[in-house]
Amino acid sequence: MRGARLIFAAALVMGILGAVALAVRARAMDDTRTIRVDDLARKYMLHVPTDLPPGRRIPVVLVFHGGGGHDWSMPNFTHFDALADDEGFIVAYPDSTNRYWNDGRNESSADDVGFVRALIDDLEHTYPVDPHRVYATGISNGGFFSNRLACDLTDKIAAIASVAATMPEDLAPVCKPSRPISVLYMHGTLDPLVPIGGGKVGFVHGRSRGMCISLDAASKFWRENDQTSSMVRAAYVQSLSKDSTRVERKTWSGGKDGTEVVVYTIEGGGHTWPGGPQYLPVFLVGKASQNLDATRTIWEFFKTKSLP
pLDDT along the chain (308 residues), means of 10: 42 44 49 92 96 90 95 94 96 96 92 97 96 98 98 98 97 96 98 96 77 98 97 93 94 97 98 96 96 98 96
Helix 16-23 and helix 2-14, axial crossing angle in degrees, nearest 10: 70
Say what the pLDDT of residue 9 is. Answer: 45
What per-residue confidence (pLDDT) applies to 54? 84
pTM comes to 0.91
pLDDT score of 89: 97
Query: Check: CATH 3.40.50.1820 for 2-302?
Result: yes
Q: What is the pLDDT of residue 12?
A: 45
Return the pLDDT at 6: 40
Distance CA 262, CA 160 (A): 11
| pLDDT at residue 177 in the model | 97
How would you class 241 by CB atoms within 10 Å of its CB: exposed for 0-12, middle for 13-18, buried for 19 or more? exposed
Residue 165: how many other CB atoms lie within 10 Å: 31
pLDDT of amino acid 304: 96
pLDDT at 51: 87
Q: What is the pLDDT of residue 160?
A: 98
Q: Hey, where are the domains in the chain?
A: 2-302
